[in-house]
Amino acid sequence: MSTSARAAYPFLEVNCPVCGGKDFDVLRKAGYPPDFSVAQLQTVYRASSDHQLLDQVVRCRPCGMIYVHPRLEASLIQSGYEEVVDPVFVEQNQQRISTFSSSVRSILKKTGLNPAGKKLLDVGCAGGAFLVAARAAGFEVSGVEPSRWLSDFASREYGCDVRQGILTDGMFPDHSFDVISLWDVLEHVPDPDAVLRTIHSLLKPDGYLWVNYPDAGSFMAKMLGWKWPFWLSVHLLYYNRRTIRRQLEKAGFAISYIRPHWQQLQFGYVLERAGALVPPAKVASKMVTAIGLGKVPVTYNMGQTLVVAQPDRRL
């Protein structure tokens, strides 16, 4: 990256988000083109998932957490997310609603939670797909979403109660929710401990936290190496089951269970997004669309993992 870009967009030295350690090993050096402009840098956080990993990735020596270091200033990351406009993303909402509906049924069965009269908050709710699924299951739903365009879409298209912005202390009264969810959100967050502690304060003592994240220790991540599709510049944090447990326990949560999360999307869309990392996939996307298979739903798992936790009553 050019010196002028670094001056305009300061990069911060950050400690390990899990243990606070400062010692690390570099797993992958930054790959910014020499002439990478300020305008190009701004677009990284305005895309849903198709920017390749450009940042340096390190592994904490004391605890093994993998994260981006250094990283862009948090306010600049937030401003990028506020500008996200992605009509292609919301075209897949029906598939996401189907996936989320199945996930909600599974979690409710596993936990025995009755959603009637229960309040649920989805943090980083994007275009509202999960809110629709949770509301259909019987929850009273609310959402928070930084993108102005996506939050407006969820409110307008589905009639959901969505607040535009990021979750902050004082946004809602303490102990006001029975469930708070983070679907593909925690890995984007500059300060996960602060977000999780805020969530802890908003949950009722017997409430639940549902977290879905891409697991860097999963079979698919290990098999694909740096071709794993979740190595992205928008992802600041790369958890495995051990480090996600430590992160949640640090914020006062006790994990109930962890399991793989299976996603359903249209075949053509999956290939199109994969094309950012594997160019032949874009050609394949056009081919399956041409023969009428582009809208066929496919269920897959590339390491996505679901964690269900509760406030630790021993604390």
Could you list the beta-strand ranges (E) of 78-202.
119-123, 140-145, 162-164, 177-183
Overall residue count recorded for the chain in this entry = 315
Residue 2 predicted with pLDDT over 50: no
Residue that has been written with the tokens 């860097």 in this structure: 216
Please indicate whether residue 248 or residue 53 has the higher confidence score (pLDDT). Answer: 248
Categorize the per-residue pLDDT at 269 as very low, low, confident or very high, splitting at 50, 70 and 90. Answer: low
Average of pLDDT values for 209-234?
94
Distance CA 153, CA 156 (A): 5
Give, in words, the CATH class of 87-262+306-311: alpha beta
Categorize the per-residue pLDDT at 5 as very low, low, confident or very high, splitting at 50, 70 and 90. Answer: very low
Ranges of each domain in the chain = 3-82, 87-262+306-311
Strand 24-28 to 57-60 pairing: antiparallel
| Per-residue pLDDT at 7 | 46
State percent of the chain over pLDDT 70.
83
String of DSSP letters for 240-270:
-HHHHHHHHHHTTEEEEEEEE--EEEEHHHH
Helical spans, DSSP H, in the chain: 3-8, 38-43, 74-82, 87-90, 93-111, 129-137, 148-158, 192-202, 219-224, 241-250, 267-274, 280-290
Cβ atoms of 56 and 26 within 8 Å: the answer is yes
| Per-residue pLDDT at 80 | 85
Residue 177 predicted with pLDDT over 80: yes
| Per-residue pLDDT at 4 | 45
| Per-residue pLDDT at 297 | 66
What pLDDT, in 10s, does the model give residues 80-100?
899 899 898 898 898 899 889
Residue 114 predicted with pLDDT over 80: yes
Q: What is the mean pLDDT of the chain?
A: 88
Residue that has been written with the tokens 């300020």 in this structure: 38
Cβ atoms of 220 and 246 within 8 Å: the answer is no
Distances (CA, A) of 276 to 49, 174, 215, 273, 315: 9, 42, 20, 6, 45
